[in-house]
Amino acid sequence: MYDVLIAGGGIAGLTAALYAARAGCSTLVLEQQYYGGQIVNAPLVENYPGIHRISGAELAQRVYDQALAAGAQYANAAVERAEPRDGGFALYTNRGIFAGRGLILATGAGSRPLGLDREQALTGHGVSYCAACDGGLYRGKDVAVAGGGNTALSDCLLLAQGCRRVYLIHRRSSFRGEASLLEQVRRQPNVELLTDATVTELLGEQRLEGIRIRQRRLRTLKVEGLFIAVGRQPRTEAFAGLVSLDPGGYIRAGEDCRTTKQGIFCAGDCRSKSIRQLCTAAADGAAAAIGLCESLSAEKKQA
């Protein structure tokens, strides 16, 4: 049995692993995809304190290496459910059952779909949720981005470097993203901003051939790619019966990252909070690990 099991290997989970291992707790990180989480898809990170410029993949690699050097362990496994057991908890995964005295839930959040007909069928065939992953496939072509936050603005800037034309479609009249990012987008000669607009239909059979939008009236855009960046949804289904979730599915926990279940902490984008940034994910990871290790130490002293 490990002292600390961490579900999720993004920046929050890896930072938690670093702090837990440094506190002397045996620590295992379980991640179903790749370590680093969504930040590995960012070609350039410029808002992480102390590092002027770095790729998301390199930043993730550094934190991963640091956590393992401190003594944490890592395994690829998809967590399917969590249950209490004598002396701690069990995580049931596609690679077996792992036991730990305490849990840190850092499973992050996934891309939210638009909910359009045939959206899933066309994903990978013109519909994408990751401009950094798939943008290179549309060099010299016309594409659209749906969204109004930082991710949508960053996607626009990335795509504008290689695509012939980029339409940025946002359902409101003003953007939620940072003013500096929006100003950079406005300066791109091949980007057209379409506000008070929504995507209503995907066109094409085997591949995306265009989209229909409503902007006061129906309009058809001939695009070969649609990049959806309309928010995230938490990956917390596996823990719904164990900890309290808010109406959006995020895990209820304060700034100390303590959940409603003794011995379980959470960190990062799956936590119910107002700000979700790279630095707050790292802060959550540190707070969760320190809090859990202190709790485990107190339990040992009382035993």
Catalogue the active-site residues: 130, 133-134
Rounded distance between C-alpha atoms, residue 77 and residue 98, angstroms: 10
Query: For the chain, how far is it from start to end, CA to CA, in angstroms?
Result: 17
Long-range contacts of 213-221 (CB under 8 A, 24+ apart): 213/169, 221/142, 221/144, 221/167
3-state SS of the chain?
CEEEEEECCEHHHHHHHHHHHHCCCCEEEEECCCCEHHHHHCCCECCCCCCCCECHHHHHHHHHHHHHHCCCEEEECCEEEEEEECCEEEEEECCEEEEEEEEEECCCEEECCCCCCCHHHHECCCEECCHHHHHHHHCCCEEEEECCCHHHHHHHHHHHCCCCEEEEECCCCCCCCCHHHHHHHHCCCCEEEECCCEEEEEECCCCCCEEEEEECEEEEECCCEEEECCCEEECCHHHCCCCCECCCCCECCCCCCECCCCCEEECHHHECCCCCCHHHHHHHHHHHHHHHHHHHHHHHHHC
Rounded distance between C-alpha atoms, residue 47 and residue 224, angstroms: 32
